[in-house]
Structure 1
């Protein structure tokens, strides 16, 4: 199997590379702004996901068996909303199986929980971009596996960085007590995504942990796990903003039944 990982220099992309190379797969990885680290078993290639010509040329030349799109630029509509469409069109042309990483940001948080049958109703520009991407990849390449996930932890993630800086007093701000998500460990998420490269997996999948926690609850767990002070500043997002969804409980039960990878909850991997 030839695997193409798009957005391979990011937090999730890096873990995908680590796990994919351990299984002996032939891996090509793309980078855009970050300089990649040399690896003897990875072929790196630059790619601007906003360019349909670059995307088409790469995929029709490489002809990968499977593609994982792990690229993420929250404030860039062309990359987030339109880029996946370029991938889907080229993948459909060559017959490659596409796994597109989406987000729980496609939901408003107004429902008690969201399973794979729930329809997107985003409140933020990022959520709207992710929802648009889901629509376009499904239209252009109907057998795409769309994997919605939540807050990604592990390997010193951005959220863990923030908790450490707040605990040490090296930054200002607060952690929200009313902003709930279902965190997932990056190792579990990467393993699950690699399972989804099997063409038998199509349609919507939810890949999140089973524990819904507020940003503040999660921060306390992280601080305790790292031996840091657990008295962390708190605030309510509903009062201080920015506007956006509050409680998003992503229900991954249906997807979990189909996978061998266990998606652990934050209370499990931070104990």
Structure 2
């Protein structure tokens, strides 16, 4: 039986890697990477180097692979550089237009920080209001996906965490600092809906096989502050939760959206994939 083709951009990233692992069960998988080639490539997955900023290269690859679905996880995240618009916005536009040109369905990964964080409980219908360079680049990316005119789902998600096969950055810096005996200053007034990487990846793969289009919020069911999240992680890893020091964002001088919690009711109705909260995930992992 011939499997349908799926193209995953950013496959050497944390989320992209999990999408690749889960997609292998039902798809013929082609994966792109930019800075990190696969550490342990498997014989059934085709890996291609690709810079999403290069529109002709994106178009050529998509025309060659001719996937049924493209899952676009490649992005420049905070702390990885400053070229947000070129990578996130222009790159998303290149991918979206190339996918539309071959009739491929697009699953585009976006973020909760396309909102200003003034109210929380954001729905897919709420207007975008980013206040950071990263958030603005992701809002522009969403616009580029819409303008491409193809069959697309824009998946807004939140803080991604996990520790297999390695820890996500959202986890590792907290745990590593505390393991060295240091304290970690974490905001008490920034609230998000952390999402387990395996759940998010499974949701993206499930969406690849559905006909749903439009914007969908996919995140964990539990809203937590950075401080509450950090305390739970330290306790889970056998470290003293008191090493998490509560501070407010105002004390730091950073500009960040405070309450970017997402209303994910629509996703819970649509998807079979569960989207557990942090406490439920940690309880499962302890067993």
TM-score range, shorter chain: over 0.9
Q: Equivalents in 2 of 1:170, 1:203: separation in Å?
A: 46
Cα deviation 1:143-176 (Å, max 9, x = unaligned): 2100000000112111211221232236565111
Q: Report if aligned partners of 2:105, 2:150 keep a CA contact under 8 Å in 1.
A: no
Q: Report if aligned partners of 1:97, 1:199 keep a CA contact under 8 Å in 2.
A: no
Aligned partner of 2:206 among 191, 195, 198 = 195
Q: Which moves more between the two structures, 233-242 or 79-88?
A: 233-242
Q: Which runs of 4+ in 1 moved over 4 A?
A: 170-173
User: What pairs with 1:189-268 in structure 2 (closer than 5 Å)?
Assistant: 189-231=200-242, 232-268=244-280
Q: Equivalents in 2 of 1:181, 1:238: separation in Å?
A: 17
Q: Report if aligned partners of 2:178, 2:184 keep a CA contact under 8 Å in 1.
A: no
Query: Does residue 1:48 correspond to 2:51, yes or no?
Result: yes
Query: Does residue 1:33 correspond to 2:39, yes or no?
Result: no
| Structure 2 residues without counterparts, runs of 5 or longer | none
User: What pairs with 1:70-219 in structure 2 (closer than 5 Å)?
Assistant: 70-74=73-77, 75-76=82-83, 77-155=85-163, 156-169=167-180, 173-219=184-230
Q: Equivalents in 1 of 2:170, 2:225: separation in Å?
A: 12
User: What pairs with 1:14-33 in structure 2 (closer than 5 Å)?
Assistant: 14-21=17-24, 23-33=25-35
Question: Cα distance 1:142–1:62, how it changes in 2: closer, same or farther (>3 A)?
Answer: closer
| Structure 1 residues without counterparts, runs of 5 or longer | none
Q: Which moves more between the two structures, 51-60 or 157-166?
A: 157-166
Per-residue deviation, 1:125: 0.6
Aligned residues: 270
Q: Report if aligned partners of 1:178, 1:238 keep a CA contact under 8 Å in 2.
A: no
| RMSD of aligned residue pairs (Cα, Å) | 1.3
Q: Equivalents in 2 of 1:95, 1:34: separation in Å?
A: 29
Q: Equivalents in 2 of 1:2, 1:149: separation in Å?
A: 25
